[in-house]
Amino acid sequence: MVTVSRDVLYGRLKEFQIDADRLREHYETVVAGQPATPYKDNEANYVGWAVTSRYGSLTDGVQRIDPKSGGIRGRKPTEICSGALQETMQRLEARPLKPYRVRVMKLVNDGAVMGWHTDSDKETWRLHIPIITNPSAFFEWKLADGRIESVHLPADGSAWLVRVDVTHRAVNRSTEPSERVHLLMGLAELPTLEQIGEPLMELRHS
């Protein structure tokens, strides 16, 4: 098996495609009708719903889980993990990525720009499946030489592997009413190069 490349910033999860329309319908008819949990992340305001959590609660896992919490990582399905969401999770769980703390997160503010930050001091990946987006929503990285790499993740049924140990942020630069809603999760296993498909962005060194 090909080992993880520390010189990759993001890429599409290979051979994975879900029905984007069904997932969006599930969000609008099932998820959005449940009480949301507010979450402020590096100056950006979100609301969220846990899809998997430590105890099956819709709130647990929207906020960060303390890594010292007894090793429980939030894998118990919640009541919204049904229909298209359940099918999506079943397909992901068949991969050797071990997703945990799965949640649906809605970036609340139009024109929102998250502060630059890192989530770890060692190689760490998240998996994002955009549910609703707009052309002004981007995931961005700031590299060591000051360059900024920016990508738009389309809501086309693809799953996107993104590095979060590199300085990064989420932005929604729309000046009109818009939405950015992602299904996202932590990964207990690092992806290998075999799992990362095109488009693939490399971390270029100066």
pLDDT digits (tens, 9 = 90+) for 153-184: 999 999 999 999 999 999 988 888 788 999 99
User: What is the total residue count of the chain?
Assistant: 206
Which CATH number belongs to the domain containing residue 21 in this structure?
Answer: 2.60.120.330
The residue assigned the tokens 């590299």 is: 143
pLDDT of 204 reads 62
pTM of the model: 0.92
Q: Quick one: DSSP state of residue 203?
A: -
Domain assignment of residue 178, given as a range: 8-62+72-202
pLDDT of 176 reads 80
Range 186-206 average pLDDT = 82
Residue 1 falls within a domain, yes or no? no
What total number of domains does the chain contain?
1
Residue 154 falls within a domain, yes or no? yes
Residue 2 falls within a domain, yes or no? no
Q: Answer yes or no: are the C-beta atoms of 187 and 151 closer than 8 Å.
A: no
Residue 67 falls within a domain, yes or no? no
pLDDT of 15 reads 94
The residue assigned the tokens 């305001």 is: 45
Q: Answer yes or no: are the C-beta atoms of 182 and 129 closer than 8 Å.
A: yes
Provide the sign of the torsion angle of the four alpha carbons 124, 152, 18, 176, taken in this order: positive
Q: Quick one: DSSP state of residue 5?
A: P
